[in-house]
Amino acid sequence: MAATTETFDRILIATGDPSTRFSLRCILQKMQYEVTAVEDGGSAWDHLQRPDAARLAIIDSSLSGIDPFTLCRRVRAIQQKRHTYFFLLTEPDQRHDVAEGTETGVDDYITKPLDAAQIQARIRCVQRIIDLQEELVTTSDSLRRARDEIDLINQLAPTALFTVDADRKVVHWNRRCEEITGLSAGDVLGRTCPFFAAGCGSACGLCRTHDSDPYFSKEVVFRHPVDGERLLVKKTAVLLDKTGTSYGVAETLEDYTERKLQEDRIHFLSFHDPLTGLANRSLLQDRLRMATASARRAHRQVALLLIDLDRFNKINDVLGHSSGDQLLQEAAARLSRALRVEDSCGRAGGDEFVVILPNLVDSTEAAHVAQRIRETLSRPFHVNGQEIRLTASIGISIYPENGNDFDSLFQAASLARNQLKEAGRNNYHFFTPAMNVRATETLTLELHLRRALERGEFTLAFQPQVCIDTGEIVAAEALLRWRSPELGEVPPDRFIVVAEERWLILQIGEWVLRSACLQNRQWQKEGLPTIPIAVNISALELHQHDFTEKVANILRETEMDPSLLELEITENVVMLGAEEVIARLHRLKEMGILLAMDDFGTGYSSLSYLRRFPFDKVKVDCSFVRDLDKSQDAVAITQAILGLARTLKLRTIAEGVETMSQLKFLQEQKCDVIQGFFFSHPLPAEEFATLLSEGRRLKAQTG
């Protein structure tokens, strides 16, 4: 057999007999081994100390110099990992050599006379042993590296992993286990682990057979057995040998506390509003289903209340969304406290809340709850050091009269709420079938409004504003008119609200402003007296960030003198305006545009707040002027408004003047300008031009 390793390609022969050396050399060279031959023990010792020394040495028992046994002992003494095989060449009768050789580490014996077959067999046997040893070393190294790699991976793994043997003693415990449990490997290795039995009971992997499920595994959630606070989840897998017998268990641990909190939070947010913690639409629908099912069996009613915080968006603009969120949270808390235990309260979105009242005998109970809600929301709120007062508009629908499911009842309550807001807000209103008709009309009106914008169906009428002292026309107010081919003449108070709700007022308002400026320029080109023209501005327009730029562009396009444009803004719009709205008004003022506060006296103006706005005029609302002949309250309010305006050095306009007595009162109170049917109705542009060209005046009134 040829040598198969680099370390066994050479054999040392040590004998003083030339013929023996020759014979052995021939046999070994025939086996393709390289042979080194020496004559004495000293030379053999020198060779065997070399790094490239032969792995097999055939030593003659009669070797001179250093005897073979001493030589063998010396070599064994200096060798650590490397092993040199010694064959002792003996005479047949040298039994004492065999005994002594075994003690000193001789591996095998060759007897004289030499037998080539015997020698070859002995060498092949040693070669096989060497090969097997080297394979074993290689395998051991691979196993050791694999074990080291597995240990390293387990130590670096983000998952806590430990194993126990059949006696439930911990065999392996990685670093992540130490971090999660607080127990070091030294605390648990070789001991029973408290985490192994935790949550398992008799179902643990070592306590059951695996005939039907040899790869049994399970997941268990349990409390930390040491601190008792954290939740842990562990997965168990049984370790089986080839026969299917369990010899241990591998388990992973995970700190489940944070994940459980996140799962609970996700579950909560699936059914609750994240800002207020109230039920969301999904949960409200479920609770309404249960309430209606119970009411159906008991022949009772269920009420759905849709609560809208009046003008909340304006409060958001003034105080910012953070304060607005705090206000919504406090409003939600008050609503919850105002209800019965069996009632449900949720947030539909924005500033809308929904209340479900189950098990009602009749609808009057819903009215009582609605009034209680109005009262609890009317108390002052305090947010970031500011006192805020809220009102609420509440639409109410009743099961089964107004619907059988959440969507139908919500829609009915929404219609009732919307009609209430149009009528003045701050109240509650039950749904009636007529509201469906109104909703249909509103939708129809919206469609026709959009068509009117495309077709150019809008026109302007102009109502003169007259100086009380001189009787001269000093300005004109541009008023929007709409004559629809299908609907006929549509009053402004009917379509303006829909235009604002659908945001169509932005397009309509821009058209009104441009058309009014063009008309005024046309009058100027015709040589008519130069007067300012007043245009009403909606809240939506004023709150657009590019409003001032749009006004400037229109003035530039129409070549209109800014001092001949007057923008009328209602009191409620500016009273709830944000700081940026106030800044916007100042920019308009800096452009030379006149500013008038419209409907003055209908809002919540205070002298200190009013001073912040750059108004030139205030308009006394027509509701006060109309009642001057029959209400002392109207007289007192009008006197107060005119007095306040004089204090602020603002010019005054009274609108809605229709009678001589109203005119006389306003003259006595030193109102500057009047507007109303007493002098002229709103007129088309051509007729207004005639009025200007004729120089028509208000006849002077004398006591």
- What's the token pair of residue 326? 């705090």
Decide if pLDDT at 268 tops 60: yes
Contact 198, 168 (CB under 8 A): no
> How big, in percent rounded to 5, are the helix, strand and coil portions of the chain?
45, 25, 30
Query: CA-CA distance, 672 to 653, in Å (whole number)?
Result: 6
User: Has this prediction a pTM greater than 0.85?
Assistant: no
In angstroms, what is the C-alpha Rg of the chain? 52
Predicted confidence band of residue 214 (pLDDT cuts 50, 70, 90): very low
Helix or strand run (H / E) with residue 453: helix 434-455
Query: Looking at residue 7, what is its pLDDT?
Result: 47
Contact 85, 117 (CB under 8 A): no
Q: Rounded to the nearest 5 degrees, what angle is found at the Cα of 349, between the Cα atoms of 346 and 354? A: 30
In sequence order, the 6+-apart residues with CB closer than 8 A to the CB of 367 are: 396, 428, 430
What are the residues facing 598 on neighbouring strands?
Answer: 570
pLDDT, one tens digit per residue, over 383-415 is 888 888 889 999 999 999 999 999 999 999 998
Euclidean distance between CA atoms 567 and 598, whole angstroms = 9
DSSP secondary structure code for residue 529 in this structure: P
Task: For residues 71 and 454, give the distance between their C-alpha atoms in angstroms, rounded to a whole number.
Answer: 118
Return mean pLDDT, the chain. 84
Q: Examine the pLDDT at 463 and tell me if it is beyond 90.
A: yes
Q: Tell me which residue has tokens 């609808």.
A: 363
Residues counted in the chain:
703
Say how far apart CA 301 and CA 480 lie, in whole Å: 46
Cα–Cα distance for residue pair 666/673, rounded to 1 Å: 9
Q: What pLDDT band is residue 449 in, cutting at 50, 70 and 90?
A: very high
653-664 mean pLDDT? 93
The percentage of the chain sitting over the pLDDT mark of 70, rounded to a whole number, equals: 85
End-to-end Cα distance, the chain: 148
d(CA 130, CA 54): 13
Mean pLDDT of 498-514: 92
Task: Give 508-526 pLDDT, tens digit per residue.
Answer: 999 999 999 999 999 999 9
Per residue in 605-617, is it b (16+ CB within 10 Å) or e — as a string? beeeebeebebeb
* pLDDT at residue 98, as a whole number: 62
Reading the block at residue 650, the tokens are: 């603002």
pLDDT score for 383? 85
Q: Is the pLDDT of residue 592 over 80?
A: yes
Structure confidence at residue 550 (pLDDT): 96
**Averaged pLDDT, 203-214:** 44
Q: Judge whether residue 379 has pLDDT over 80.
A: yes
pLDDT tens-digit map of 101-152 = 667 778 888 888 888 888 888 888 888 877 787 788 778 777 777 777 766 6
Which tens digits make up the pLDDT trace of 598-610?
Answer: 877 665 455 555 6
Q: CA separation (Å) from 222 to 168, 197, 232, 262?
A: 19, 11, 5, 17
